[in-house]
Amino acid sequence: MNSQQMIAGAYDEIAGYPDFVDGPLEAPESQIPRTPLLVVLFIAMFALTVLVFGTHPKLFRVPYYLGVISALVSAVVYFQYSFPIPMPAFFFGGWFFWSILTGLRAESQEATWLATTTIAQILVMVFVFATICHDSRSVWVIGGALALGAVLNAIAALVFNLNVKEGRAAGFAVNPNSAAVVYGMGMCILAGMTAATRSSLARLMLTGVNLFLMYATVMTGSRAGAVCLVPPILYAAWFYRRELVRKPLVMGGITVGLVVGAVALPAWLSETELGRRSKQAMLTLTGQASRQESSVTSRVEMKYKAIEVSLKNPIMGVGVGNFTPYVFRNEGQTLSTHDNFLDVLSGTGFPGFALYYATFAWLWLVSGRLRRGGLLTQGEVAIISMTRTFVIFRLCWDFFENTGWTSKPGWMFLAVLAGVLTGYKKLLAERAEAIGMVPGDSSAAPTSSAY
């Protein structure tokens, strides 16, 4: 019997899970109190209705009331179990209070009030969901609701032609770019589900749904939405590179798909609104600016202006949500940053920028540490992969749009991921102690190798 089998056997005896030596590690989550299913379902319904009814003139109150109920029920559960509060909740709380300080000297108090009330709502959501959701089931249920919302939005846009203007389909979303970010988040979640399941049929179905969302992204005509899909896909392929190499059938399917796509997609894409807008953007970037396309040039100029404003106000910024009023008063122009990095930086200065993006850094570093530590089940590895692809997608999107800090669905899922990773830290430490392994030493840990 080799060392891995001995360690696996020891853990098997303690955990009570037989015969996993040659397969994926399976272990109970009894060390982490599971969030009551009713609470998780309330949060999931809140997530779904935010995407479907959030912009409806009459039904927008549905997600609001579900959110309030979720928060109240979650508070009761918190006092029963006393879950630890993840660090990202404190990071976001710090950014909220810093935003209030920056707003005291802001150009427009009305813009400051609107921004801080939005941040306050997200802060409550982050604290509640990050604190209450510490088990894997919470991720899959709430993530599944967000993915379902993305699919319903795509159906509304493509099947029922809801909110289609100038060849760009938005569905329930405010505009095509908002629809594209919803689809991107949904695809990151569905990719994690695909990696977590062992059923070939389920994987095939999830892949089909992902392709449908990819098609919906093309139909939005959003160049940012299309570009932001590339880094998460490449990272997911790299994350599972060893598993993919050991699956000749999967590798063959991917290769065939890439070849067919390389042959067929360019001709098809060139006929879509996305292809037309991308071509005009390329002409602009190569110095052959089209008279019909000025958005790329304008956005580049806006980024330079936002950098200039940030350097003039490096500590306090110009006030959260106040870039547009500040530039209008000083230069008479109505501009937007179209860049969440620069919107946060110009609004709250470098300290606010550090507090805001500390959440993304924490998720990346903690997920990497857990991955290297070993003792992970297949589903847990999938959640870590999903965390990283989700972070990559959000950061890519932040480069093209300035709506990241107001995205309630995005921050909701980031909060849930932060809570689950906090639970995993405790869970894996107890697993390591149970088998006598030094935490962080993965050399002999029986981890999941199944894809």
Higher per-residue confidence, 83 vs 409:
409
Radius of gyration for the alpha carbons in the chain, expressed in angstroms and rounded? 23
- Looking at every residue in the chain, the average pLDDT score rounds to 84
The predicted structure's pLDDT at residue 30: 44
Using the structure block, give the residue that is written with the tokens 């405790």.
Answer: 426
The predicted structure's pLDDT at residue 437: 64
CB 208 within 8 A of CB 369: no
The predicted structure's pLDDT at residue 295: 65
Residue 135 three-state SS: coil
The predicted structure's pLDDT at residue 270: 74
The predicted structure's pLDDT at residue 13: 37
DSSP H/E element including 168: strand 168-169
- Give the integer Cα–Cα distance in Å for 346 and 390: 25
Residue 289 has pLDDT above 70, yes or no: no
- Give the integer Cα–Cα distance in Å for 81 and 61: 30
Q: What is the DSSP letter of 403?
A: -
pTM, full prediction? 0.87
The predicted structure's pLDDT at residue 67: 84
- Give the integer Cα–Cα distance in Å for 222 and 176: 6
Using the structure block, give the residue that is written with the tokens 């932001």.
Answer: 228
User: Is 22 buried (19+), middle (13-18) or exposed (0-12) by CB count in 10 A?
Assistant: exposed
Q: Per-residue pLDDT tens for 265-284?
A: 777 777 788 878 877 766 65
Q: Per-residue pLDDT tens for 296-312?
A: 677 788 888 999 999 99
Give the model's confidence band at 439: pLDDT under 50 very low, under 70 low, under 90 confident, else very high. Answer: low
**Can you read off the two tokens belonging to residue 331?**
């230069």
Q: Per-residue pLDDT tens for 365-374?
A: 999 999 988 7
* Residues 210-243 as b or e (16 or more Cβ within 10 Å = b): bebbbebbbbbbbbbbbebbeebbebbeebbeeb
Give Cα separations from 412 to 48, 61, 81, 143, 446 (angstroms): 11, 18, 21, 10, 32
- Give the integer Cα–Cα distance in Å for 401 and 445: 42
- Give the integer Cα–Cα distance in Å for 229 and 341: 19
Tell me the mean pLDDT in the region 121-150: 93
- Give the integer Cα–Cα distance in Å for 326 and 343: 12
- Give the integer Cα–Cα distance in Å for 309 and 347: 9
Angle in degrees, CA 46, 52, 54, rounded to 5: 70
